[in-house]
Amino acid sequence: MWIKVCGIRDCTTAVSVAELGIDAIGLNFYSRSPRSVTREEAIEISNVLPKRIARVGVFVNHACSEIESLVSTCRLDIVQLHGDERPSFVLELRQRLPDIPLIRAWRMTEEGLGDLTTFLGECHSHQIRIAGCLVDAHVNGLYGGSGKTVPWQRLSEQYSQHSSPPLILAGGLTPANIAEAISVVRPWGVDVASGVESAPGVKDLQLTKQFVENARSAALDEKEFHHGSHG
């Protein structure tokens, strides 16, 4: 189970969270988010993190040139596109950053995933590999961080985990609901932001620790269940 804690804003929190057994942290460059960081803050955080932690840059409708510049100066390992970027934009970004994995965030409504299949098909036709698809809840006017959960059962039914990129579940995940979410959706990875905060943008280390432990435990239970059912 790949675990990402998103919206880290300072070095102290970054170091403490990294010690909890996570795989990645999200550095949010969307200026309207309460979790946003400046280039300078991101460089400082990136410099104090151990190499094993993936630094994920979160972008919302940024220009390709700006993303390219931030990847270079902040030593980002992965780019997460969380806005309204179309396949043509992803193609240009891939040409500029051929070796950086791309995660596409997708906001799911109560009705379902909308035209995600079309989007992924267009990317595939351009031979663009999407490293992961992060599914978040759709809330009008917001690009994530709403604290609202996605309809897990519907996501489980609609997302083809065999033919689509690895699924990263986001949206309103907390220490209290993460086990159920993993049990229903069986994602490749999970992403948490507001669900482990004491205030917007302020991570609570005890909540984060509990989240990681509950997620790891649930993932292990799922693995053993499926192994046993096929055994």
Count of alpha carbons within 13 angstroms of residue 26, beta-carbon side: 30
The series of mean pLDDT values per 10 residues for the chain, 231 residues long, is: 97 97 97 94 97 97 97 98 93 95 92 88 92 86 65 93 94 96 96 94 97 95 61 47
pLDDT on residue 85: 93
In order of start, what are the domains of the chain with their CATH numbers? 2-230 (3.20.20.70)
Q: Which residues 6+ apart lie within 8 Å of 85 measured at CB?
A: 61, 93, 104
Q: Of the listed 6, 64, 74, 133, which one is catalytic?
A: 6
Per-residue pLDDT at 142: 54
Q: Tell me the C-alpha distance between 191 and 214, whole Å.
A: 13
Per-residue pLDDT at 226: 59
Q: Is 23 a catalytic residue?
A: no
| 55: CB partners within 8 A, 6+ apart | 24, 25, 27, 45, 46, 49, 74, 75, 76, 77, 78
**pTM for the whole thing?**
0.93
For residue 142, the surrounding DSSP H or E stretch is none
Give, for 92, the enclosing helix (H) or strand (E).
Answer: helix 87-96
Segment 172-216, tens digit of pLDDT: 999 999 999 999 999 999 999 999 999 989 999 999 999 999 999
The first and second tokens of residue 23, run together, are 């795989």
With contact defined as beta carbons under 8 Å apart, do 194 and 35 qualify?
no
**H helix count then E strand count, the chain:** 8, 10
In this prediction, residue 98 carries a pLDDT of: 95
Catalytic residue from among 74, 133, 136, 191? 136
Structure tokens at 88: 């043509």
User: Rounded to whole angstroms, how far apart are CA atoms 28 and 179?
Assistant: 26
Placement of tokens 């990136």 in the chain: 46
Instruction: Decide if 11 is catalytic.
Output: no
